[in-house]
Structure 1
């Protein structure tokens, strides 16, 4: 008795690629770039092998390296010269990201995304203005409505500097509407908005905080980032951002939240982004250094899973490593 259905017929080399249900291309990827106003030369990031902070003077060169691999988009993060309670470096006209963006957009063809948050620029490391006494009382948190004005100023300053897209990441209620209104009022109606619509308070962010010098000086971010236990809340957050004018919806982190990526894909017509975060990158590198995993193969499979779950675009530290093989 022979089987009547033989799926293995379509797994041979000649037809395998023809029937592939999911594809991954270099143009699906966004590469993070860290620009450091305190550095005179490139500074390796120990917890993220292969990545560096670069001085503003080398921002263009760094982006050209990304473009040479076939990746067309970058997202810029900044390390300022100084920090204060209001995160004023985030929206300064001559801020580190703003200076880098002017050079990058003037001298390259990269599609430039700006991360809009205050945590890299505040001396307390939180994503907005703090309630009085928050440093001594863990029940206190970021002042939501007062923070909106600063996020909007940050987005406009990045658009003024040439950003093609801004990406608010602070999980501040109402941030999408505040930023969209401010961009439109400033004449930046064509600047796109990719919202970190579903950003969990995750344990996978550690290496990024090392890279961007953005760890909280006290407390944590559980009062404004999402509880990893919650799934239905993700749809509520995304629905609010759509109503406020988001062009793209992002899920962060990526791999531990594939179910959320799928939920958003099935619920919205908007493009869906996933952030393959620093902890996901670092753990694969650590296992590969031990000889336990094949770095390239596992990285590819990880990003393919995000595409299969429904992501249209992926922010990933693997972008350059994989692009040449895609």
Structure 2
């Protein structure tokens, strides 16, 4: 029997050979660590549907960030859980809001850490929607003004990057304009450019106490059936001034990550969301999957699809493994 001249198995024979020809690499620099910050002191409360993920008071968040930075993690993404909510999300942009206080405290202790802040209203409104409600619907243009105020308040506190996740039309342009007018032209925007209306967000909504009290978010988040629309959304955000674009969720939308990578020469982030995290943890707990192996494979697939950055609740675990390697 004649074999072809090229035998692929030659380059799979040992781990050192496989490593030598490996195409895709994951590094600690690729990781962004999301954190939930709540009011109070000495709070480290595990989230039921996200084992080993916690709500932190600011003092405990500083301890967590110290450990993360010692592992080499260079960026965190903050989500706030306020004590008080109202119809218009006032606590999202006040000077002593939970995120504003957290950013100042983090920057005081870890000035070199990249602090990214989520800019949205769902965690702060009593109704749980991502915008201002008028006549029973989310009013796009009224919401833009509030989002701009939130972004500026985060920049004043010391945020390096603001990340609008609301999916309102025109929000990147309005935020860019407001930041520039307030003297924060150096603050970057990481846009949730392609955010699908996904069932994979369930555990996050428990963690952030942000489930909508009526209706759903299909009128502003993207339809999971659409792919070409992702190009239009990303194009709009880039035209309006986005510095980094993001796809959310990650694993169910690898084709979208690949499409955006082929189309745009911009930094591209992907969010391995709470539902992806919860599935891996649950299957591993039942002994159905090897957590470490499936986690590594999932993150490599996100990188292979074209993501430059990965937002993942597994950031610390992966950083530890990378340091061991």
TM-score, structure 2 as length reference: 0.96
**Structure 1 equivalent of residue 191 of structure 2:** 195
Between the aligned partners of 2:243 and 2:57, the Cα distance in structure 1 is 31
**Structure 2 equivalent of residue 120 of structure 1:** 123
**Structure 2 equivalent of residue 300 of structure 1:** 296
Which one of 119, 129, 132 corresponds to residue 132 of structure 2?
A: 129
Q: How does 1:131-146 map to 2 (within 5 A)?
A: 131-132=134-135, 134=136, 141-146=137-142
**Residues 49-81 of structure 1: CA deviation (Å, up to 9, x unaligned):** 111111123222221122122211100001001
Between the aligned partners of 1:229 and 1:237, the Cα distance in structure 2 is 15
Which one of 98, 110, 113 corresponds to residue 110 of structure 1?
A: 113
Contact 1:85 1:129 survives alignment (8 Å): yes
Q: After TM superposition, what 4+ stretches of structure 1 lie above 6 angstroms from structure 2?
A: none
**Structure 2 equivalent of residue 164 of structure 1:** 160
Q: How does 1:239-278 map to 2 (within 5 A)?
A: 239-278=235-274
Which one of 68, 76, 79 corresponds to residue 77 of structure 1?
A: 79
* In the alignment, structure 1 residue 42 sits paired with structure 2 residue 47: no
Between the aligned partners of 1:258 and 1:93, the Cα distance in structure 2 is 39
How far off its partner does 1:324 sit? 1.0
Q: Unaligned 5+ residue runs, structure 2?
A: none
Between the aligned partners of 1:256 and 1:321, the Cα distance in structure 2 is 22
Q: How does 1:44-59 map to 2 (within 5 A)?
A: 44-59=46-61
**Structure 2 equivalent of residue 207 of structure 1:** 203
**Structure 2 equivalent of residue 235 of structure 1:** 231
Q: Unaligned 5+ residue runs, structure 1?
A: 135-140
Which one of 4, 22, 43 corresponds to residue 24 of structure 2?
A: 22
Which one of 123, 133, 149 corresponds to residue 145 of structure 2?
A: 149
Between the aligned partners of 1:61 and 1:96, the Cα distance in structure 2 is 17
**Structure 2 equivalent of residue 138 of structure 1:** none
How far off its partner does 1:175 sit? 0.4
Between the aligned partners of 1:253 and 1:107, the Cα distance in structure 2 is 31
Between the aligned partners of 1:227 and 1:130, the Cα distance in structure 2 is 21
How many residue pairs were aligned?
319
Between the aligned partners of 2:152 and 2:197, the Cα distance in structure 1 is 27
Q: Which has the higher strand share?
A: 2
How far off its partner does 1:14 sit? 2.7
Between the aligned partners of 2:151 and 2:67, the Cα distance in structure 1 is 26
Between the aligned partners of 1:100 and 1:62, the Cα distance in structure 2 is 13
How far off its partner does 1:92 sit? 0.9
TM-score, structure 1 as length reference: 0.96
Contact 1:165 1:192 survives alignment (8 Å): yes
How far off its partner does 1:40 sit? 4.5
How far off its partner does 1:322 sit? 1.0
RMSD of the TM alignment (CA)? 1.0
How far off its partner does 1:174 sit? 0.3
Between the aligned partners of 1:98 and 1:228, the Cα distance in structure 2 is 33
How far off its partner does 1:46 sit? 1.0
* In the alignment, structure 1 residue 285 sits paired with structure 2 residue 281: yes
Between the aligned partners of 2:173 and 2:56, the Cα distance in structure 1 is 33
How far off its partner does 1:15 sit? 1.9
